[in-house]
Structure 1
């Protein structure tokens, strides 16, 4: 929260139905969490409060930073330096940072004024790049602040790479402005669906021999994700994995069983041709044989790949054997 009054934990905890956990040094940033969760302050300053959020529904603790930046470029230098410091300390841990940065990142984030803010945008962009943060994108209004005909996107949420690996999707929604000149930003994160049992998908070389493989991949990869950057790539990879798993089961099933089934079909087709040697029966045999040969090549690909993987797995043991 970014309040305009002194912290009043009891009053606002009842109103929000959440527990008050912390406020920053000047009381302008407050933290509330739901029942069962906790927030431990790690770093506190007048423009940012940073800490560890613990929740039993998450696979691990996550780092959260809330920002309420100063209004002038010179005062914000301390914020950018603090962000860089936090990024080093949170290396490898999922981290989300968001709030009122009181500056824009590009000219598209402003309407209603032609004032040159290039140097401020560069400062902000360099801080984001140094911290290796990603913008998950947003929906809703293009601007989060409005006053006297000036519109700007001053509020935003950024995540790091480990965060993008923990959550399957991150969506920021700029809600309507009601009681403030700033609009609230709602951030929703989706955990990947848990799957018990089974093994991770492994690309099968035999797939590329199937006529529909290329179109399947192209169609699935081209679907939008409502995300950007590395998060967009992560979502696409997770989605194509599910698609290929389902397609492999439906189209290939058990390739060895399919081969036996085709052998029986060919034997029956040849018997039908011997009883009635018509062009239609001959064409049926040729079609079955062509499909059977294609399956044989796929099976060869399967065994060749399986042998290679086994060699890679046992390669170190094999090397030690020959060395001895």
Structure 2
């Protein structure tokens, strides 16, 4: 499932672009929140839609259903009353597992600003909203900030859940992924983490030095096909890159140890 925020696209053009992502289904709160999923895995029922939040009931395969709310808080403080009041209204009528995630455009503490600036004027309303809804921050792994413009950095994006959701998905992990061309970093919520597999497998790392090798582009073109899905392309590339790194490029980590043993 993929959630995109602040898309600035609506109408036929939005649907045309959403279709190109390769998902079977999607829901567009046009211009603001896009939610895309594969119905082979997810059963999604949109219960409530607003320009600043979309509330859904989800079921993954044969798992028990739970509730998920995607939030995009307006950058204008005066308009951010809507998501806070909306979440409170949802909480009043909900007793089962609930996860809320997205760009709240508000920080919880000065830690979310790197300690370099104060809190926004609606900080208290944000904190009170989470308390009233019984929602707690899930934490994260990775870089500490989700948005950066110049020297200004903030953690504006997060996942918060109620106790029932946290208990059901006790191994869930939030990961801040590397920033690409956006001011924001992508955030990945992994619901089930296989601790055994995680401890036995080394994470894939893309080495910038690969780009200097004359055969890199050829290896990439061979293992990236337009006619297959993004997930399969990524998997194929990682597997091929590991082999290519060892057999063609050479093990750069081993070479570093040989040249600089200390």
Who is 1:9 aligned against?
A: 15
Change in CA separation of 1:35 and 1:105 when aligned onto 2, cut-off 3 Å: same
What are the Cα deviations for residues 139-176 of structure 1, in whole angstroms up to 9, with x where unaligned? Answer: 11100000021000001111111112221311101111
Alpha-carbon distance, 1:65 to partner: 0.6
Partners in 2 of 1:9 and 1:39 — Cα distance? 18
Partners in 1 of 2:142 and 2:8 — Cα distance? 25
Alpha-carbon distance, 1:125 to partner: 0.9
What are the Cα deviations for residues 56-113 of structure 1, in whole angstroms up to 9, with x where unaligned? Answer: 142x11111111111122211121111101112222x111111110011100101384
2:132 is equivalent to residue 130 of structure 1: yes
2:81 is equivalent to residue 77 of structure 1: yes
TM-score (norm 1): 0.54
Pairing partner for 2:90 from 86, 89, 94: 86
Partners in 2 of 1:81 and 1:174 — Cα distance? 27
Who is 1:319 aligned against?
A: none
Change in CA separation of 1:39 and 1:10 when aligned onto 2, cut-off 3 Å: farther
Alpha-carbon distance, 1:14 to partner: 3.5
SS at match of 2:10: coil
Q: Which structure carries more helix by proportion?
A: 1
2:107 is equivalent to residue 104 of structure 1: yes
Pairing partner for 2:35 from 24, 31, 34: 31
Pairing partner for 1:142 from 136, 141, 144: 144
Stretches of structure 1 lacking an aligned partner (at least 5 in a row): 194-324
Stretches of structure 2 lacking an aligned partner (at least 5 in a row): 196-262
Q: Which structure carries more strand by proportion?
A: 2
SS at match of 1:27: coil
What are the Cα deviations for residues 210-239 of structure 1, in whole angstroms up to 9, with x where unaligned? Answer: xxxxxxxxxxxxxxxxxxxxxxxxxxxxxx
The structure with the largest alpha-carbon Rg is: 1
Change in CA separation of 1:192 and 1:163 when aligned onto 2, cut-off 3 Å: farther
TM-score (norm 2): 0.66
Partners in 2 of 1:35 and 1:86 — Cα distance? 25
Partners in 1 of 2:121 and 2:32 — Cα distance? 26
2:123 is equivalent to residue 121 of structure 1: yes
Change in CA separation of 1:191 and 1:181 when aligned onto 2, cut-off 3 Å: closer
Alpha-carbon distance, 1:54 to partner: 2.3
SS at match of 2:141: strand
CA RMSD of aligned residues (A): 2.1
SS at match of 1:190: coil
